Amino acid sequence: MMRKSVCIVGLLATVMVATLLLSAGSPGSSANTAEPASAEVKVDNFSFGPATLTVAVGTTVTWTNRDDIPHTIVSTDKVFKSKVLDTDEKFSFTFSKAGTYPYFCSIHPKMTGSVVVQ
């Protein structure tokens, strides 16, 4: 009796180890989907929305000009700089280092925003 139950426990343990090995071995897509790889900032009505965006390291941020006036996205610390974006034009930048990245519109310098990368 005792021997049989030990045997079942051993079998269960073997199955569990095998399952763990199988799930660890497959290059799962679930591991990297926990944090968003992209984020959006809308440029509209002379402002950035959200004005402060917090993202994880490695995130690509895309600004889209929803205004009917041209704007630019220029990093205060010269990390990135867009061309003049007309209506519905986009600019993307991938943040590979943690930090705070303030930016502004060079046409309307009172338009400011920042991206916090952590």
Binding span for Cu ion by CB under 5 A among 31-39, 49-57, 86-94, 109-117: 109-117
- Annotate each residue in 32-71 with x if it binds Cu ion (CB under 5 A) or - if it does not, as one string: ---------------------------------------x
Binding span for Cu ion by CB under 5 A among 9-17, 51-59, 92-100, 110-118: 110-118
What is d(CA 31, CA 73) in angstroms, rounded to the nearest whole number? 32
Residues 64/40, Cβ–Cβ less than 8 Å = yes
Q: State yes or no: residue 108 binds Cu ion (CB under 5 A).
A: yes
